[in-house]
Amino acid sequence: MNYSLLVQGGEDGYAAVVSGSYNIFDPDAPLSGYLDGLLSGYLLFDANRWNPLLLKTILENNNFTYSKEYDGSDLEMPADLTVVLDPKTHLPYLIRGFEKHPLLGTSTHDLRVYDYILVEGVMIPQHFKTIYNSHQLIVDWVVDEVQERYTNYNYLGPYVGTVDELKAEQSWSDLPGVWVMEQPGYLYRQMLLELQEFVVVLDAPSQQSNDIIKWVDDNIRKPIRMVIPTNHHHDHAMGLPDYVKVGAKVVVPDMAKEYYHGIPNMEAGTFTRENPFILEHDDFRAAIIHMHDNHHAKDHVYAVVMPSCVSTNSIVVVFEADFVISNKALDTNNDHTELWQLIQNMQSHRVSKHAEYVYY
């Protein structure tokens, strides 16, 4: 899509397409003109919020109130931050902090800033990178639009789930040891594989991990011996230290071990893209597969579970995260590129086209 959108604030404000097509299904369509104000209002809000001179404008208007309150971030001043300046331009090159990261251990946390432009006499960076330990790239983004992905900044509130609220289901009669766990009101489903002597947990979102551990202890009454994150991103791996504390081995692709080296007392099990990790049970067989050609995360895995003795009508269950997202409030909702990559992987691994799907 190639279009230009003009947004004007104030009492006579409006949003209108002034060139190109705003219709994703008809890129050659004529101008659609004015857009719905309610649906476009966030653009004006974010344009003002990202104005580098916003604070200066507020102060010059002299129409504000001032108060101080505790924000709960536990940030003490001085904050022990280091600012490194470019020796040629004398502009900030990086801002460095230090932290005890749950997965990476004691780490440097750098915000790298690039590509400055002059805005009303102020030099403003456009390119930002978040880098841990000088080489582990976490975020790389360029400010070239006005908050196109604004919903990424929605805060859904603190975790308030409880063990009693956990919804546990065994949905497939020929897979009696397979559990799907869901905390109502939260985005993350997990899968439990109950083997003869122990339990394997698939995925590891933070905080919910403690409820899963308690639920397994109260209901299945077998130890959790393995935990397998779908990828190293924080929303799928930050619960790993909790599982390690109760004796679980962390099973990941061989290339991903470095992501978790900071977890105290962690025992790692690894596998490769060519040789999936296999779990055998009297009733089912689970293959943990390291995906290929995937841009979401290099270590992304998904699980394929089927009965030990497969027949023509056997159920096949696929568990994955981040490729199929039912929550339409998220900008990654069913990204076509990622869906296509998932389909290509499942086709390559000969997954049944009638498989049932457990996601996010």
- pLDDT the model gives residue 45: 75
**Number of other CB atoms surrounding residue 224 within 10 Å:** 22
CA–CA gap between residue 3 and residue 5 (Å, rounded): 7
Read off the pLDDT of each residue in 219-227 and give the average, rounded to a whole number.
97
What does residue 154 show for φ and ψ, rounded to 5 degrees? -70, 130
Q: What is the pLDDT of residue 154?
A: 56
User: Quick one: fold of 163-359?
Assistant: Metallo-beta-lactamase; Chain A (3.60.15)
**pLDDT at 332 > cutoff 70:** no
How sure is the predictor about 329, in pLDDT bands with cuts at 50, 70 and 90? very low
The size of the chain, in residues, is 360
Record the tokens describing residue 101, joined without a space: 């990261």
pTM over 0.75: no
Q: Residue 43 — pLDDT band, cuts 50, 70, 90?
A: confident
Q: Which of 144-148, 224-228, 277-281 has the highest mean pLDDT?
A: 224-228
**DSSP code for 342:** H
DSSP-derived letter for residue 129 is E
Mean pLDDT of the chain: 84
What residues does 140 pair with on adjacent strands?
Answer: 129
SS3 for 216?
helix
Mean of the pLDDT values across residues 315-332? 70
Rounded to an integer, what distance in angstroms lies between the CA atom of residue 12 and that of residue 152? 29
- Greater model confidence, 207 or 343: 207
Asked if pLDDT for residue 300 goes beyond 80, the answer is: yes
Measure the CA–CA gap between 56 and 200, rounded to whole angstroms.
Answer: 55
| Range picked from 17-21, 189-193, 289-293 for highest mean pLDDT | 189-193
More confident site: 47 or 210: 210
Query: Pairing between strand 284-290 and 301-307?
Result: antiparallel
Write down the domain spans for the chain: 3-49, 82-147, 163-359
